[in-house]
Amino acid sequence: MKCTIDIKALRELLKQWRRAGESVAFVPTMGNLHAGHLQLVNKAKGQADRVVVSIFVNPTQFGAGEDFSLYPRTEHADQEKLQGVGVDVVFMPSVEEMYPVNELTKVSVSQVSENHCGAARPGHFDGVATVVCKLLNIVQPDKAFFGEKDFQQLTVINAMVADLNLPVDIVSVPTVRESDGLAMSSRNAYLTTEQREQAAQLYLSLCVAAALIQNKKLAYSDIEKQQIEFLAEQGFEPDYFSICKRKDLLAANKEDTEIVILVAARIGKTRLIDNIQVDIEN
Ligand code: PAF
């Protein structure tokens, strides 16, 4: 496995592979890799000749007062994990390599960036869209892999790729969960033992809401209210609990068949997000 911090060196390698007719899959990450990331890599390996993984804690997607400086950086352990699953190259650029000048260009995806996490974290999805666009332009992969855990991020990226005619297939990969249902996330490392136990209630609230939707008795606004109260009782500070249409993340109503329930809640200082998809037969 090769490691490079340099865009030019990475592009040289990619050029050689392309000349040899090899296809390229790309998995962008911010490091601190867990089984969820390795699942993305495994899927990528099954769908291309070569796999590139990037590790870059992108400063522009963190707001003032968020955890950019505290975000766990575990580069050595990450490299060992990636070597173990047979990645071809790890791209680990510095902030200066990715943002060498005071950039004038920003990618901003309207509407789907604006509600839910976008409302709670202003500018976050502009940072994500911009860095993902830059990374896709650097790697120019045939396919890029993203986890469904960050469902709104996935929606933003799909919109950007469609709107800008980027020549890449975005592949979404189902969330990997701990045995008690907690979605794997680098931020789980911030939880104390007690908070870690509480955290499983987040997925439980999604499963209960999904069952209530299927049951078709309660109004969606009542289900949302109920689950926000439940999470507050469990010691969370809920940010939002939203029953949405999968295609645009706007509020769903009873006629909609493809639904996603999005939740964000804080335990102590840690903000956790999760979601569940629900298909309704009318
Ligand atoms: O999901 C993430 O880890 C990040 O938001 C991403 C897509 C790597 C962009 O920095």
Q: Which pLDDT value is given to residue 251?
A: 98
Distances 208 to 33, 123, 250, 255, 261 between C-alpha atoms, Å: 29, 32, 21, 20, 11
Protein residue whose Cα sits closest to atom 6 of ligand 1? 29
Q: Is the pLDDT reported for residue 159 higher than 90?
A: yes
Q: Which pLDDT value is given to residue 41?
A: 98
Q: How much distance in Å is there from the Cα of 192 to the middle of ligand 1?
A: 24
Could you report the per-residue pLDDT of 25-42, keeping only the tens digit for each? 999 999 999 999 999 999
Averaged pLDDT, 88-95: 98
Q: How much distance in Å is there from the Cα of 40 to the middle of ligand 1?
A: 12
Are 171 and 143 in contact by the 8 Å Cβ rule? The answer is yes
CA-30 nearest atom, ligand 1: 3
**Banded pLDDT at 282 (limits 50, 70, 90):** confident
Please list, residue by residue across 123-160, b when 16 or more beta carbons sit within 10 angstroms of its beta carbon and e when fewer do. bbbbbbbbbbbbbbebbbbbbbbbbbbbbbbbbbbbbb
Q: How much distance in Å is there from the Cα of 146 to the middle of ligand 1?
A: 8
Averaged pLDDT, 2-7: 98
Q: Which pLDDT value is given to residue 24?
A: 98
Q: Which pLDDT value is given to residue 260?
A: 99
Protein residue whose Cα sits closest to atom 8 of ligand 1? 29
Q: How much distance in Å is there from the Cα of 137 to the middle of ligand 1?
A: 15
Please write down the HEC assignment for all residues of 136-159.
Answer: HHHHCCCEEEEECCCHHHHHHHHH
Could you report the per-residue pLDDT of 185-199, keeping only the tens digit for each? 999 999 999 999 999
Q: Which pLDDT value is given to residue 58?
A: 98
Protein residue whose Cα sits closest to atom 1 of ligand 1? 29
Averaged pLDDT, 106-129: 98
Q: Which residues are catalytic?
A: 37
Q: Which pLDDT value is given to residue 179?
A: 98
Averaged pLDDT, 115-128: 97
165: CB partners within 8 A, 6+ apart: none
How high is the mean pLDDT of the chain? 97
Q: How much distance in Å is there from the Cα of 219 to the middle of ligand 1?
A: 34
Q: Which of 26, 27, 30, 125 to mutate to test the pocket of ligand 1 (most atoms within 8 A of CB)?
A: 30
Protein residue whose Cα sits closest to atom 5 of ligand 1? 128
Protein residue whose Cα sits closest to atom 9 of ligand 1? 128
Q: Ligand 1 pocket: which residues have CB below 6 Å?
A: 28-30, 58, 61, 128, 131-132, 150, 153
Give the whole-angstrom CA distance, residue 132 versus residue 29. 10
Averaged pLDDT, 157-164: 98
Quick one: tokens of 157?
């990226």
Domains and CATH numbers, the chain: 2-173 (3.40.50.620), 186-275 (3.30.1300.10)
Q: Which pLDDT value is given to residue 30?
A: 98
Averaged pLDDT, 70-87: 97
Q: Is the pLDDT reported for residue 273 higher than 90?
A: yes
